[in-house]
Amino acid sequence: MITPTRFLVCAVLATAVALPVSAKSKKDRICEAFGAASHKIAQLRLSGKSESEAQLAYASENADSDMLKMQLVPAISSYVYGLTDEQLAGDVETPAVDQCKAYQG
């Protein structure tokens, strides 16, 4: 009787942990991917790559990226390369995610 109870407790705990993870909306997942891509492209900019070089480098290193599939890399690189040096020195990913999640379109 104890073994099935332990199994039940483990199953309930696993479900309780898994539900919030799976509860993320599609928009949240896309915005997080947008933020991650922004961070990667910002790193490429900081390393001295031009915008077109950064786009090509991102595309070659992230062939399975949703951002690449949705053809958002030019928009992301435009966002990153439009940042001032001061903005670039800070956190690029969090503001990108926040702006994406706030978009009502």
* CA 78/CA 71 separation, integer angstroms: 13
Q: Within a domain: residue 51?
A: yes
Confidence (pLDDT) at 25: 92
| CB atoms closer than 10 angstroms to residue 84 | 8
Q: Within a domain: residue 10?
A: no
Q: Within a domain: residue 49?
A: yes
- What single DSSP character describes residue 47? T
Q: Within a domain: residue 11?
A: no
pLDDT digits (tens, 9 = 90+) for 91-100: 999 999 999 9
Q: Within a domain: residue 67?
A: yes
Residue that the structure tokens 């786009």 belong to: 55
What is the domain extent for residue 37?
Answer: 26-102
pTM recorded for the entire structure: 0.73
Maximum separation of any 2 CA atoms in the chain, in Å: 66
Confidence (pLDDT) at 4: 42
pLDDT digits (tens, 9 = 90+) for 40-90: 999 999 999 999 999 999 999 999 998 888 899 999 999 999 999 999 999
Residues 43-78, buried b or exposed e (16+ Cβ, 10 A)? bbbeeebebeebbebbeeebeebebbeeebbeebbe
Q: Within a domain: residue 13?
A: no
Q: Within a domain: residue 21?
A: no
Instruction: Report how many domains make up the chain.
Output: 1
Confidence (pLDDT) at 23: 64
Q: Within a domain: residue 46?
A: yes
**How would residue 6 be classed by pLDDT, with cut points 50, 70 and 90?**
very low
